[in-house]
Amino acid sequence: MHEFSITSSIVEILKNEVMERKVRKISKVNFLLNSYGGVEPQSIKFYFELLTKNDSILKNAKLIFKKDKIKFKCKNCGESFENLKIVSRCKKCKKPGLSILMPEDIRIKSIEIIEI
C-alpha cells in the first residue's frame, strides 16, 4: 500500500501541472528512483493505471524510471560526490568516513506534455 499513497500524490502533482499549464495531455513522466529506496516501479505503474483510467489527460501516460545517483559527503575533507553504488572511501582523499545523503525514494524528473 506504500506505493498507492505515493502514486496518489504523483497523480495530484500531475493534475496541478495540468491546471497551471493548460495541458491537453501528459504523454510521459520521467522519474528518478533512490537505488536503495523501497519503491517498486511496477506497483507505481499498476496504481497509476488504476487511478487514471477515467482521466483523458493522464490516461496512458508512459512512466519511465531511472535510478538516481547516491550522494556522498566526506567527513574528513568535505568533498561531495555522486555514485550509482555505495562506496566506502572518498574519491578525493581516499579515506573512509562518508555520510550518505539519501535522496527521496522517488521524484519526478520531467514531464512531457501536449499543450492545448
Contact 103, 71 (CB under 8 A): yes
At residue 114 the predicted structure's pLDDT band, cuts being 50, 70 and 90, is confident
Q: Can you tell me the mean pLDDT for 54-79? A: 94
Tell me the pLDDT tens digit for each residue of 47-61.
999 999 999 999 999
Residues 70, 62, 20: CA angle, nearest 5 degrees: 90
Q: Where are the alpha helices (DSSP H) in 65-113?
A: none
Question: Residue 73: is its pLDDT beyond 90?
Answer: yes
Per residue in 79-95, pLDDT tens?
999 988 889 999 999 99
pLDDT value, residue 116: 64
Q: Is it the case that residue 115 has pLDDT exceeding 80?
A: no
In Å, what is the CA distance from 21 to each residue of 46, 52, 114? 26, 19, 10
- Residues 12-44 have pLDDT tens digits of 999 999 989 888 899 999 999 987 778 999 999
CA 31 to CA 26: how far, in whole Å?
A: 14
Among candidates 51, 49, 61, 50, which has minimal Cα distance to 24? 61
Query: How many domains are there within the chain?
Result: 1
Give the CATH number, domain containing residue 80. Answer: 3.30.2320.80
**Arithmetic mean of pLDDT over the chain:** 92
pLDDT reported for residue 1: 55
- Higher pLDDT pick, 103 / 21: 21
Question: Structural domain of residue 44, as residue ranges?
Answer: 2-115
